[in-house]
Chains A and B, each alone.
Chain A
């Protein structure tokens, strides 16, 4: 019996401890335009459109890292100085009066991009250039530029490979720099960039499949170049209808992409992401909407979001009745946990824990365990 307990204990210690107990506390966005030169105007317009959208939906400037590889707004070729448009009707100046560019020009390199993601900066680097996310952060990573099979070009000089991206994400996960990460890429063969991703809680969406190109939407003859890409254009078309209180789900965003209009097939990689997409509002990534819970007592900590306060695509987030919330507030945290975790594995874990506590002579158990381990090692080595 003791040996069995021990083996189970060993198994448990090797297993990945799923400590998904943190709640979503903040939102970050990293928006990257990797293309230099005037004819890539549309890539900057793409990025600035997304910048405007996430700002409108509530992410403040200090939580947005904006990387623009070239200066289009005050470019000598720009007919409209200090203005960038993503539509030929010129109704909306994306550059506005209050834009904060964190990395620009020659600073937009693969090295700096990976440094931002992994947080490995020099000491002198100011806070505004750092991604100071934590384990409760939802991060939106948007990238646009020219790419190919499993790579994305930076300024026509360097490449970010899918392996680099996957490694950076893995490192971020290990450093607990995010709770959930959404990667959105608008480039040719965008789907291939996600091939190496392995880390959990990552959702990826690309504008085109392998072998497909991502096309620009339309040409502005006043500016003289194409001003927006198709994928971003239709993403924006979806978001322009939303405000901060809308509860459109990610599923409805994904369903809004029409391959005929995009002239490419949008690709979603959802196998690393557990929640059901129909229940995740887009503002989880593209905005910053915090839940407000009314509690009777102050400083009552909630260890985790319960599954019943998730919304579906039709029901708005803020329609939760106050009654529900009061009830939740009254329930003890521990009870919440046990109620939620009913899977056999956790049950086994609890049993094990109880048995361990009952044991009197722990030392002998440890010794026995070491002996069993040695035996196992010997047998396995002789077999091989």
Chain B
């Protein structure tokens, strides 16, 4: 999950407070187990942990050795073992097997399990079933929000999407509500709340209940953030399915940005080692190009290189004193910049190489055709060829899903043949993948004779049927109709452009997709904030199939008040793409003026 918002004139709240809070709590928990101990860390908690507390802090609190939680017997010889894990059942079984192995060997040690961000009863149940509940002590590390950048927070919960949108499991909603509650206690109450989607609504309600239960504290505080917008990922799958073309998005698509940092391989670093690089606003070079369309990036980088060279060149003709000054003051900065510059140039080259190999232009062309809804047959053929050539399993799927969503499902013939081709190319196990995609509404079949009105009446019946939970069934039984085409028309998502779209000086958010498409999610946010609510968007909301689940909550209408009201926090429930972040940053710059 990510929380981008406009980095602009109004000052951003100090999110590093969240880090300090998490660190203090972790230290407290570690000190609960006095003496030397070995720490077992879940693999995907390692990077977030690294951002909160480095190894030396851990050592200060008597952590002796660090291990990764993996399915291997532990070699640790320490008398005290501490496990830092996500609340997952497989971890519990691992811990239980470890404890039981010790018991068999007649060994007694102390075990402590720290769950992050919270513990689940099911986990304790498993420990109990395995007969080790009495041997371990359990604690919670309520570390739910990691500030990745000055304007970006993440919950680092990769399973959120799968659990909620595929399995209909709502356990993370509580975690989310807690996180929102934490934000409102730290940064003042949010005067305006908007949201769309079922998950957004549930989280919102749970959050408000939490606030009620311990009221008093936040009241009367000056809010630091004016608006909060909750958005379910399934409101807009389209944007997430498009190839990214802003620099940061491309880096993510090519190298995977994890927890705000990226591993650049040898082909980028032009040495024989990989390098882990932190990507955020502190990287001056990156900060300037992250939101740029890729076509501008090379030009910018070479300009930058020339400037750098010029600065280096100044030292010719310097006298001794100037030289001393230069070395002591500027050289370090220049060297740093130089290093970063060469890294990003390397990255660009690597991206170019990969993209040309795949015939990126063709791919983009097909995507745009799908978004605009012409030459469907040709696009379908392209996808089929893509599959036949085994270009990339994930890209093939992405294209299929995009086709399905923009077209309200595939026509039955294509649905069958594409699936058959896919299974032949990439293996029969993907039959299950297709079941899941279908359930999540990502890849569906047009029901024969299913006219728009028929579906609509079905949907509205389900939505009005308050006998709770029935809607969850709608997930599986009735693959959600996306109505993308109609929404696109209503919200004007495909800009009509005469002539070239100038990517250097973008006019609207469409630049993040080469001017071909304005991200739906960001457009909704823009519209709602402009109108300060959902008035006039009824038709869109209806088309999104979320009519009951869009809400606005304006507690007080003191528009005139402080600066801070211009700050907006957008919460994507189920993750977001860097393109969307770039688009929102753009929106912030445009409207924030």
The answer to whether A and B belong to the same complex is no
A interface residues (Cβ-Cβ under 8 A, vs B)? none
